[in-house]
Amino acid sequence: MEITLISVSGRLACDGSRLISSLLKRAGHRVTNVYLARREPEYELTELERLNEIFRNTGLVMLAVYSNYFGRAVRITNLIHQTFPGLKVVWGGPHCIATPELSLKYADAVCFSEGDEAAVQLVNRLDAGTDYLDIPNMAFKVNGSYVINEVLPPFSDLDSLPYYDYGLDNQFLLDGELLPLTMDRIKAATEQYPFYVPTMYFLTSRGCPHECSYCNNCRYVAMFGKNIMRFYSVGRVIDEIKYTLTTLPFIKFIAFGDDDFLARPQKQIEDFAARYKKEIGIPFGVAASARTYRTKKMEILLDHGLIAFNMGIQSGSQRVITEVYNRNISLAQTSKVIKEIAPYSETRDLIIIVDFIIDNPYETRDDIMQTYNFLLDLPPHFKPNLFFLSLYPGTPIYDRAKNDGLIKEFDEEIFRSYTRGVVRYQKNYEIFLVLLLRIAKLHPRLQKIPLWVFRLLGSNPVRKLASLLPDSIYEKGANALQLQMAWRKKGK
């Protein structure tokens, strides 16, 4: 069967869509891959219509959908239904896992859990002309009604899966024109954060030890009872990376995309590190939390190529962390880990990146100041990442905000943007201070400003004086600071 697989992500996919492509090819089907790997400007209808030459020769279209790019998926799906009425469109990916009912408003079918078995079953049955409406992990729209099937247990035999598909045959990039994917285009598209060298993202596990209210991992907890951790074997990880590097020899940095890399047992980390250094040898980075951090695990990785470490802190307010974000991590433990890893930036040249979420409608101004003071106290070599809170469908915080009347659910006319560069909820002096401090910590010249200046700006007397001015001034200031950071990122 001829299948068109489209990734609507704003960067060149290195995720599950490449795995689905390999699974379908292994089952004997022909797959054409299209990547909408551009964040902006948004794709207009005339540009999307260039895909029609592919659609007219395909038997099924499958879309990998993220909530951030939900609107793209809708526009492509509507284009197909209007231009090729008999052509079915199937959605999968994080957005569909979080909210299958919303996705079925547009798609003919949705994979709302892991697709390793469901995707192949669906295509096989369609190809054979047999009934497919009972496939587990799938939901279907039939005569205006929804058929939502049972959920399979978490897929556990990860080593049985094929390698991700990084081939060039029938792979295209949509960017003005429908361009054949080449090594030069892949290389340019993979020059990404944090080092802006050709970077490969790679997953060695599934699942997450946390149940954060803003993350669609919560959906897995609802389906499975808990978010079960599953790991590829060390040998499989090393073998696939080696194979992929023969296809992408220009890769200079490997970013392991596991939600919490240090959740692995220490013995596996020891085995991985030894083989990685001997057989791969490319610098790498991992993400972890203060809850799973262990000194021994960290030092093993540092001895074998770790050069970047990312840790989510999310807020300087324990109330927000516990009551709003549902993170079972104490700030005391986080501070302890920060103190321990800080020297590695000097002794091991380790890049340490810490994540915070701001513009949260459930924060008070005092909560924001706790984040501000936490940022002030970070060691000088730490790089703070600030993200505006995104209320993703299917997450507990989305439901809370919807019930509280802060947001409205999608309808046929309105697409909510989940990625944004302006404040929406906290239009005040305190959020302006946080954004100002972030720039000061990242800009070499501004790093010379004494910390007492920022402590003065955050003092109660100055905050009281600042409150005399309209919040609209701080809203404009915060948005200007955010825009400046966006330009600095683009300029690397």
What integer pLDDT is reported at residue 487 of this predicted model?
Answer: 46
Q: Is the pLDDT of residue 229 over 60?
A: yes
Per-residue pLDDT tens over the stretch 441-476:
988 888 889 999 999 999 999 999 999 999 999 999
Q: How far apart are CA 67 and CA 423, in angstroms?
A: 19
Per-residue pLDDT tens over the stretch 121-148:
999 999 999 999 999 999 999 988 999 9
Distances from the Cα of 285 to the Cα of 177, 263, 434, angstroms: 34, 15, 26
Backbone angles phi, psi at 14, to 5 degrees: -135, 35
Confidence band of 119 (pLDDT split at 50, 70, 90) = very high
Closest of 300, 310, 305, 307 to residue 267, by C-alpha: 300
Q: By percentage, how much of the chain surpasses pLDDT 90?
A: 79
Where do we find the tokens 């951030």? 68
Where do we find the tokens 């994979």? 111
Q: How far apart are CA 174 and CA 167, in angstroms?
A: 17
Per-residue pLDDT tens over the stretch 28-37:
999 999 999 9
Closest of 57, 132, 130 to residue 90, by C-alpha: 132
What is the value of pTM for the model shown? Answer: 0.92
Closest of 315, 307, 300 to residue 353, by C-alpha: 307
Confidence band of 49 (pLDDT split at 50, 70, 90) = very high
Sheet strand arrangement including 145-148: 145-148, 138-142, 109-111, 89-92, 60-64, 2-7, 30-35, 171-175, 177-180
Q: Is the pLDDT of residue 253 over 60?
A: yes
Helix (H) or strand (E) holding 28: none
What integer pLDDT is reported at residue 490 of this predicted model?
Answer: 47
Closest of 193, 180, 184, 186 to residue 166, by C-alpha: 186
**CA trace torsion 391, 425, 257, 311 (10° rounding):** -130
Least confident segment among 304-313, 319-328, 406-415: 406-415
What integer pLDDT is reported at residue 485 of this predicted model?
Answer: 61
Name all domains of the chain by residue range, CATH numbers in brackets.
2-160 (3.40.50.280), 187-418 (3.80.30.20)
SS (H, E, C) 35-103: ECCCCCCCCCHHHHHHHHHHHCCCCEEEEECCHHHHHHHHHHHHHHHHHCCCCCEEEECHHHHHCHHHH
Could you list the beta-strand ranges (E) of 86-169: 89-92, 109-111, 138-142, 145-148
Give yes or no for a contact between 102 and 216, defined as CB atoms under 8 angstroms apart.
no
Give yes or no for a contact between 401 and 407, defined as CB atoms under 8 angstroms apart.
yes
Distances from the Cα of 134 to the Cα of 41, 123, 397, angstroms: 40, 13, 32
Q: Is the pLDDT of residue 392 over 90?
A: no
Stretch 408-422: mean pLDDT, rounded?
Answer: 65
Q: How far apart are CA 120 and CA 133, in angstroms?
A: 14
Q: How far apart are CA 26 and CA 29, in angstroms?
A: 7
Give yes or no for a contact between 294 and 288, defined as CB atoms under 8 angstroms apart.
no
